Structure 1
Amino acid sequence: MTVLKADIHFAGYEEKKPVIRDIGFEVGAGELVGLIGPNGAGKSTTIKTILGLLRHMEGKVQVLGDNGRYAYVPEQPVLYEYMTLWEHLELAASAYELNGPQLAERAEALLRRFRLSDARDQYPVKFSKGMQQKTMLIIGFMLEPDVYIVDEPFVGLDPRATRDFLELLESERKRGAGILMSTHVLDTAERICSRFVLVNAGTVVATGTLDEVREQAGLAPDASLFDCFDALT
C-alpha cells in the first residue's frame, strides 16, 4: 500500500522561477526511501513542497494510509525558548489529539531509550546539538504516523543514539509506516534503505532499488551507492 505519493511538476520560491521539476515517486507502507543528492540538488525544496510550504507549485502530493498523518523531523531543530522538554512533547501531542495516558506511555518510553528522562523538565534550547536532535526524534516517533519525513537525521547523533534511531526506524517499518529520509550518510543509507530517489540539478536522475540505480548509472553490480552518486551527480 502506498502511504506517500509525490507528483511534482515544478515548484519554487518565486513565481515562474522553478527550483525543481518532474519530481515523482512513491513510498510504500513499511518502506524506507532514501532521498539522495548533492548540496543544492533540490532535496530540501522537494521536502518543503511535500510539506505544503511552497506557494509556487504545480502537482499533487498525497499522504495516504490509515490516518493520513505524517511527522516531520527537520535537520535544524525547531524549539521554543521558554518551554521544557516535556512541554514540547505535550504541545506536539495536543496537535495530534493524543490523550494523557497515550502521551505518557509513548513519551516516557522514548525518553528512556534516548536517555533524556532526567532532562524532561529542562529547556531544550540549552541542550547540545545532539540532545536537541534527540528531542526532535522523540517528538516524531511519539506521534506514530503513517509517514515519516526525516531530513539529515544523523547530524549531531553519537553512535549509541544513531543505533537507537535505526532500531526505531526498523520498528516503525514493521508497524507499517513509510519513511522518506534525506541524508548524506551514504554507507548507512545503502544498508537500510529499500529504494532510492537520486536528485540532481532540480530533477530526478535515478530511482529504484540499489540494483536498479546501478543499472541506470551504467555501473557494475557491485558498485556502491557512493559510486552511483558520483556517476549520476
Structure 2
Amino acid sequence: MALEVNQIVGGYSQIPVLHKVSFTVKPGELVGLIGLNGAGKSTTINHVIGLLRPFSGSITLNGIKIDQDPAEYKRQIAYVPEAPVLYNELTLREHLELTMTAYGLAPEQTWPRAHQLLKTFRLDNKLDWFPADFSKGMKQKVMICCAFMTNAKLLIVDEPFYGLDPLAVHDLLNLIEERKQAGTAVLMSTHVLDTAQKYCDRFVLLANGRVRAHGTLDELRAEADQPNESLDDIYLRLARNDDDE
C-alpha cells in the first residue's frame, strides 16, 4: 500500500472541511480525485502533503505517518500544484538543482533525466531563464519537470491541465503512464472528467467534504445500476443529490 487516508476530519482553524474522508492509492495506480469547486479536493491534498494536520484520522504513506518521521514522509512525495510556485530570483537551472538537493539526488545521475524532461516540454534551451520570462504554461512545465525527475513514490498532480497546450497535456499523460508502469502511485485532482475517465484506474468523488463514491468506473456504474453512465453524469448526479439532502 502506498497512500492510505483513513477517516480524516480536517480543515482550517477549527472549522472542519473534510468529514471522515477515506481512500487509498496503490503503487502503479492513478486515482482521480474528483469534485466541484469547494468539494474539498485542495484541502485533502494539503493534508496529504503535510501543509495541514487533521483534527482526527490518519494518513500513512508506505507505513510512515508524517508525525513519526516528517522528513522521510515528505521525501516520498512529489507535488505539482494547480498554481505554479517558483522563486523569482532563481533560473530554471537553479530550480532543478534546488530540487535535486532537496531530494538528495545525485546530479550526475539526475541531470540526464532532467534534460530529457526539458526536451519533452521544449524547455531545454531555457535553462538560464528566470520565472519572469515564462508564460503560465511554461511555469507549469517547470513544476512538472521538477516533480517527475525525482524518485518519489507518490506523485500528486493538482488540476495539471490548466495552462498547458494540447501537446503538453499529451506529454504529461504519457509521463504519468510511464511512472505508473514503474510502480509509482499517482493521485490526480482534475475537473476534466472526460480525460479522467479515460486515464484513471479508480476515482474518489468528493462533495461537501465527504466521499460520495469511490471505485472503478464499472463499480460506480454498477452501484447506480447505470451501465452506460459517464463519469461526468455520475458525478453531477451525486453532487445534485448531495445538495438536495
Matched, 1:10 2:9: yes
| Alpha-carbon distance between aligned partners in 2 of 1:103 and 1:61, rounded to the nearest angstrom | 30
Which residue in 2 is equivalent to 1:222? 228
What amino acid is aligned across from residue 204 of structure 1 in structure 2?
V
Distance 2:77 2:232 in 1: 29
**Which of 21, 34, 37 does residue 36 from structure 1 map onto?**
34
C-alpha contact 1:198 1:207 (8 A) present in aligned 2: yes
Residue deviations 1:66-97, cap 9 Å, x none? x8611011000010011000100100110111
Q: How does 1:73-152 map to 2 (within 5 A)?
A: 73-152=80-159
Give the conservation status (yes or no) of the 8 Å contact 1:79–1:125. Answer: no
For the aligned residue pairs, the C-alpha RMSD in angstroms reads 1.5
Q: For 1:107-151, what per-residue CA distance to the aligned partner results, in whole angstroms no more than 9, with x for missing partners?
A: 111101111001111012331111011000000000021110110
Unaligned runs of 5+ in 2: 64-71, 240-245
Separation (CA, whole Å) in 2 of partners of 1:208 and 1:45: 21
**Secondary structure class of the residue paired with 1:115:** coil
TM-score, scaled relative to structure 1: 0.95
The aligned amino acid for 1:39 is N
Preserved CA contact (<8 Å) 1:80 1:125 = no
Cα shift at 1:219: 4.7
Structure 1 stretch displaced more, 207-216 or 177-186: 207-216
Q: Which runs of 4+ in 1 moved over 3 A?
A: none
Q: What is residue 50 of structure 1 aligned with on the other side? A: 48
Q: Quick one: structure 1 residues 8 and 72, their matched pair in 2 at CA, closer, same or farther if it must change by over 3 Å?
A: farther
| Contact 1:63–1:70 (8 Å) recurs in 2 | no
SS state at 1:120 partner = coil
CA distance in 2, matches of 1:40, 1:219: 28
Q: CA deviation at 1:99?
A: 1.3
Identity of aligned residues (%): 50
Cα distance between partner residues in 2 of 1:182 and 1:167: 17
Could you tell me the TM-score, scaled by structure 2's length? Answer: 0.90
Q: Gaps spanning 5+ residues in structure 1: where?
A: none
